[in-house]
Structure 1
Amino acid sequence: MRLAAIVAALLLAGPAAAQDVIVLGEVHDNPAHHRVQAQRVAALRPKALVFEMLTPDHAARVSPDLIGDADALADLLDWANSGWPDFSYYYPIFAAAPDAVMYGAGVSRDAARGVMETGLATAFGAGAAEYGLDAPLPDDQQTAREALQARAHCGALPPEMLPSMVDVQRLRDASLARAARQAFDQTGGPVAVITGNGHARMDWGMPALLALAAPDLVVRALGQGEDGIPPGGSFDEVTDAPAPERGDPCAVFN
C-alpha cells in the first residue's frame, strides 16, 4: 500500500486503531454523518456490524451476496416501512464491510410498550442486572434524561410519561450493548456499532452499559455534531458537519 493511502486510512480510523468495539454516532437524517461512518467502517474492516436500525430478525437475513444489491437489500429489510431515513444514507455502511456479520439491536414497538407494562428489567429479559437495568438511575441523571426527552418531544408529553420514555431509552442502550457483546464473543471483533449520538455517548449510553457487562472490552465512541454544536455527552472523538435543511421538528405535535 502506498504511504499516502496508509496515512489516509489512519486518519479515517481515528481512535478506532485500538479497540474491540467502536461506536459510531450520528444524527439520523444527516447524510454527512453517514459518510463518515462508512469511511470509518471501511478503515476498520470490522468482523461484525451492529445496527440500531435493524431488528435481530432482519439482521439475520443479510448475506454477503445481498450487500452487492442495494435495492434487494432494502427490500429484504423492508426499509421503506422502517421509519428510518432513506436507505441511500445507510447502504454505503453495509457496502463498506461486505464480509462482516450483521447484528440487529432494534427495539420493537411492542418491546417498548412492554417497558411501560411490565417494567424495564422484565422487558429486557435475562441478564438485565448485568446492564444495570434492575436499579434506578442516579437522581441527577434521571432528571437530566427526563429533560432531554421533554425537549425531544417538544414539551408535548405529559410529565408523568417522561420516566417511561427514559426507561425505553435505557432499553435501547442495553439492547445495543448486548448485541455488541454477542457480536464480539461470536466473531472476535472488532465490532462497529451504528447508532444515534444519544446512544453512543460514553457517560450514560450504550458504551457505559457495555462497560458494566463486559469490562474487559475496549470501547471507543465517536459523536457527530452539526454546525459547530457538539452532541451532548462525552465521546472519545467528536466530528462536525453542516446540518441538512429541516422543517419544524415540532410541527407534528401542533
Structure 2
Amino acid sequence: MKYLFTLAALAYAPAHAEMIDADDVGDLPVADVIFLGEVHDNPMHHENQARAIEQIGPTALVFEMLDRDQASRMPDNLPDMAELRALLDWDASGWPDFALYYPLFSAAPGAQVFGAGLPREAARAAMGQDLDQVFLGDATLFGLTADLPAAQQHDREALQARAHCDALPEELLPGMVDIQRLRDAMLADAALEAVTQTGGPVVVITGTGHARNDWGAPDMLTQAQPDLRVLSVGQFEVIPEDRPPHDYWIVTDPHPRPDPCEMFR
C-alpha cells in the first residue's frame, strides 16, 4: 500500500486548537483527510462545509449519510439535485432535507464519493454483538477488538444518555456506545480507502461527535495510518464549556427546531 505523503505531515497541524469564524473555514491548513463536522439540520453548518470543500478541492468525499450501496450509484457526472435525490433514495434515509447536502456534492463535482453510513437495520442487528463480528473491515486496525478505558466508557455512556434525553434504560447504554464506535470505524475505514484510491485530499462529512480527535473517527484513522495528516473541524450551536476535541471549531446560531425530548415526556 503506497501513500502520497511528505515530511509536511509532521508540521501541518495547528499549534493549538482554537475557535474560528465561519469565514476562516475557507482557509484551513493542508491535510490528507479533513473531517468537517456538523449539526445535521443546521443550514449554516452546511454552508460552511461547502465553503471549505471549494477551498480544499478534494479528490474524494466521504459521507456518513450514505452507505456503500448508495455511494455506488453515483454517476460519473453530477446530476441535478432532484435526479440525485431520487438516485440515492434520500427521502427514505431519515436524514434532513437533501437541499442542505446537495451543495456539498456540487462544491466538488469531480470528487469520487464514498459511503460510510451504517443503515438503521444493520445498527439494530449489531446491538449486543461483538464489534469484530459485525465490522466488515479489519477490526483490530481501528481498535474495535479492545475494550475502552473505564473512564472513557463512562463518559461515552453519559453522552449517550444525554443525547437520548436521559430516557434510555441504563442497560442499553453500552450497546449505544458500541454502535458509535462502529460508526466511527466505518468513517475511518472509508476515509482510508478514499485516500488510498485517490491520493487525497479527502473530506469527510459527519456529525461533530464523530469528528472528535480524542476518540472519534479521526483518532481511529490516525491509529490505523499514523502518517496521515488528519484535520478535524467541529461545528456547534452554543459555545462549549470545555475546549472541544477538534483542531478547529465554529459556533453558529442554533437552528430552530422542536424540542427533541418532547417525545419522551
TM-score normalized by structure 2?
0.88
Residues 153 and 12 of structure 1: is their aligned pair in 2 closer, same or farther, counting only changes over 3 Å? Answer: closer
In structure 1, how many angstroms separate the alpha carbons of the residues matched to 2:130 and 2:25? 41
Report the secondary structure of 1:131's partner residue. Answer: coil
The equivalent position to 1:124 in structure 2, one of 135, 145, 148, is 135
> In structure 2, what residue type is equivalent to 1:159?
E
Q: Does 1:101 align with 2:85?
A: no
The equivalent position to 1:178 in structure 2, one of 170, 189, 202, is 189
Task: Tell me by how many angstroms 1:108 deviates.
Answer: 1.6
Report the secondary structure of 1:249's partner residue. Answer: coil
Task: Tell me by how many angstroms 1:13 deviates.
Answer: 3.2
In structure 2, how many angstroms separate the alpha carbons of the residues matched to 1:28 and 1:227? 15
Residues 226 and 138 of structure 1: is their aligned pair in 2 closer, same or farther, counting only changes over 3 Å? Answer: same
In structure 2, how many angstroms separate the alpha carbons of the residues matched to 1:114 and 1:231? 35
Please say if residues 137 and 189 of structure 2, whose CA atoms lie closer than 8 Å, have aligned partners that are also in contact: no
Q: Which residue of 1 aligns with 2:199?
A: 188
Higher mean displacement: 227-236 or 43-52: 227-236
Please say if residues 64 and 98 of structure 1, whose CA atoms lie closer than 8 Å, have aligned partners that are also in contact: no
Within a 5 Å distance, the mapping from 1:53-64 to structure 2 comes to: 53-64=65-76
Find runs of 4+ consecutive structure 1 residues off by over 6 angstroms: none
The equivalent position to 1:154 in structure 2, one of 157, 165, 168, is 165
Q: Which residue of 1 aligns with 2:43?
A: 31
In structure 2, how many angstroms separate the alpha carbons of the residues matched to 1:156 and 1:241? 28
In structure 2, how many angstroms separate the alpha carbons of the residues matched to 1:116 and 1:193? 25
Please say if residues 32 and 195 of structure 2, whose CA atoms lie closer than 8 Å, have aligned partners that are also in contact: yes
In structure 1, how many angstroms separate the alpha carbons of the residues matched to 2:87 and 2:242? 32
> In structure 1, what residue type is equivalent to 2:26?
A
Q: Which residue of 2 aligns with 1:4?
A: none
Residues 247 and 11 of structure 1: is their aligned pair in 2 closer, same or farther, counting only changes over 3 Å? Answer: closer
Q: Does 1:46 align with 2:78?
A: no
* CA deviation string 1:84-133 (max 9, x = no partner): 11011101000000000000000022331333243111110341011000
Please say if residues 121 and 133 of structure 1, whose CA atoms lie closer than 8 Å, have aligned partners that are also in contact: yes
The equivalent position to 2:26 in structure 1, one of 6, 13, 18, is 13
TM-score normalized by structure 1?
0.91
Please say if residues 25 and 223 of structure 1, whose CA atoms lie closer than 8 Å, have aligned partners that are also in contact: yes
Q: Does 1:89 align with 2:100?
A: yes
Report the secondary structure of 1:102's partner residue. Answer: strand
Q: Which residue of 1 aligns with 2:247?
A: 236
* CA deviation string 1:130-164 (max 9, x = no partner): 10000010111100000000011111111010000
RMSD: 1.6
The equivalent position to 2:177 in structure 1, one of 166, 181, 195, is 166
Report the secondary structure of 2:141's partner residue. Answer: helix
In structure 1, how many angstroms separate the alpha carbons of the residues matched to 2:140 and 2:183? 15
Aligned residues with identical type, % of pairs: 52
* CA deviation string 1:63-90 (max 9, x = no partner): 242x240000000111111111101110
Structure (1 or 2) with the greater helix fraction: 1
Number of equivalent positions? 243
> In structure 1, what residue type is equivalent to 2:44?
A
Q: Which residue of 2 aligns with 1:199?
A: 210
In structure 2, how many angstroms separate the alpha carbons of the residues matched to 1:214 and 1:243? 35
The equivalent position to 1:223 in structure 2, one of 220, 225, 234, is 234
